[in-house]
Amino acid sequence: MKTGIDQISFYTSQYFLDLKTLAAARGVEPDKFYVGIGQEKMGIPPPDEDVVTMAASAAFPLKEQGAFEGVEALLFATESGIDQSKAAGMFVHGLLGLPERCRVVELKQACYSATAALRMAMGLVAMKPKSKVLVIASDVARYALGSPGESTQGCGAAAFTVSADPRLLAIDPEAGFYADDVMDFWRPNYLSEALVDGKYSTLVYIKALLESWKQYAAESGRSLNDFSRFCYHIPFTRMAEKAHQKLAKGTSDEELKKVIGESLLYSRSAGNCYSASLYIGLASLLDNAAEDLGGKRIGLYSYGSGCVGEFFSGVVQPGYRDALFAGQHRALLAGRAELTFQQYEDIYNYGLPTDGGDHTFAQYRTGPFRFAGIQGHKRIYGSR
């Protein structure tokens, strides 16, 4: 039985900061960001948008198409948790009107957790092939103002259903995975922005890739030539390019563009979406590949700092284009509003009230759902 991703939809904030604006404010060459980092824009969530609203907005198109029929679990991957106890997925369960007979849980291992969720979802579906699992990865990437990580911020969510006989991607059983207890990137509970040993993190990302690939190749007997395309975890697009250059030594610029270029298009404008990044890359590839990828195998590399890496693969299913949300994704990215530098800093510095009183937030542009306020330490969500 084939198991894998049946449909995938993504969402990012309706606001972005152009990295040329950031470059001017920080006194650096715009090409450091546009070329050196490979990023043009970063998604910035307004005060009434968070991981819950982005997650629900990402999954909403799936609901509209009736994709929740048979869903028995919602696995919510994030490292931007909003509560130490209640899973962010519980709020999403309410907003989307998911059935009472639904397991809901939140998973964390930096950017890797959505891949852990995918694996768990496949296990559940294998035990009960008529059921489905909804996986949502949603994150806000936030670093200190003026720090080297600042240009690699972003936000977004990817929602996908995992089922038997999937319409998009049948996941292969083989995988290579690697864990090592390192401090390359972390966020203590008392901080709202991540700490990172930036250069070191890029080295660990590559080491985990090479170790995972070695295992995958040994287990599957496949070589790089067996793949039509590759999708990488995308903290910034240049990182994915460098990773592929390490894996496929001596690859030409033309070949590099062919095998990963389409997967990088959305991330170049949304920025790092942590746990969602790899899956936004997958949506970008499937939506934008000019060639029909039906029947072709693609390689995927998931990386979460701290760290866990996994290389796995899947076969794109014939007719997959009929199950995409390409038009919606392009319209979302094209319709966003640009922030001035002052607006960006004001939003960055907006602190959520912690006094337990009643607070209503100003209404910004969001998707179908918004974070309306806080009452008695309870987050209040609603429709826009």
Q: Spell out a b/e string for 230-240, using b for 16 or more CB atoms within 10 Å of the CB, else e.
A: bbbbbbbbbbb
Instruction: Give catalytic status of residue 233 as yes or no.
Output: yes
Given the rule CB under 6 A, which of 44-52, 156-164, 195-203, 293-301 is the region that contacts ligand HMG?
195-203
Considering only 196, 265, 300, 315, the residue that binds ligand HMG (CB under 6 A) is: 196
Q: What is the spatial distance between Cα 119 and Cα 109, in angstroms, rounded to a whole number?
A: 14
In this chain, which of 60, 76, 185, 344 binds ligand HMG, going by CB under 6 A?
A: 185
Of residues 342, 286, 295, 343, the one with CA closest to residue 316:
295
**From 57-65, 173-181, 200-208, 281-289, span contacting ligand HMG (CB under 6 A):** 200-208
| Angle 331-150-177 from CA coordinates, rounded to 5° | 80
- Tell whether residue 309 is a contact of ligand HMG (CB under 6 A): no
Does position 155 bind ligand HMG by CB under 6 A? no
Got the DSSP string for 262-300? GGGHHHHHHB--GGGHHHHHHHHHHHH-SS--TT-EEEE
Residue 111 is among the residues annotated as catalytic for this protein: yes
* Cβ distance to ligand HMG smaller for residue 101 or 249: 249
Residue 294 engages ligand HMG in binding (rule: CB under 6 A)? no
Q: Per the residue annotation, which of 49, 106, 111, 231 is the catalytic one?
A: 111
Between CA 208 and CA 214 the distance in angstroms is: 10
Q: What are phi and psi of 238, to 5 degrees?
A: -60, -30
Sign of CA dihedral 244, 247, 252, 258: negative
Between 144 and 248, whose beta carbon lies closer to ligand HMG?
144
341 within 8 A of 42, measured Cβ to Cβ: no
Query: 29 an active-site residue?
Result: no
Q: Does 201 bind ligand HMG (CB under 6 A)?
A: yes
The residue (of 31 and 165) whose beta carbon lies closer to ligand HMG is 31
Q: Does 203 engage in binding with ligand HMG (CB under 6 A)?
A: no
Q: Report the residue number, 60 or 112, with the smaller CB distance to ligand HMG.
A: 112
Nearer to ligand HMG, 311 or 381 (CB): 311
From residue 218 to residue 237, the character string flagging contacts with ligand HMG as x (rule: CB under 6 A) and all else as - is ---------------x-xx-
Q: Record the tokens describing residue 7, joined without a space.
A: 């449909």
Beta bridge partners of 312: 175, 300
Which runs of E-coded beta strand occur in 57-200?
Answer: 71-77, 103-107, 132-141, 154-164, 169-179, 185-186, 195-196
Residues in contact with ligand HMG by the rule CB under 6 A: 29, 31-32, 35-37, 79, 110-111, 148-149, 151-152, 185, 196, 198-199, 201-202, 205, 233, 235-236, 239, 272, 274, 303-305
Catalytic residues: 79, 111, 233
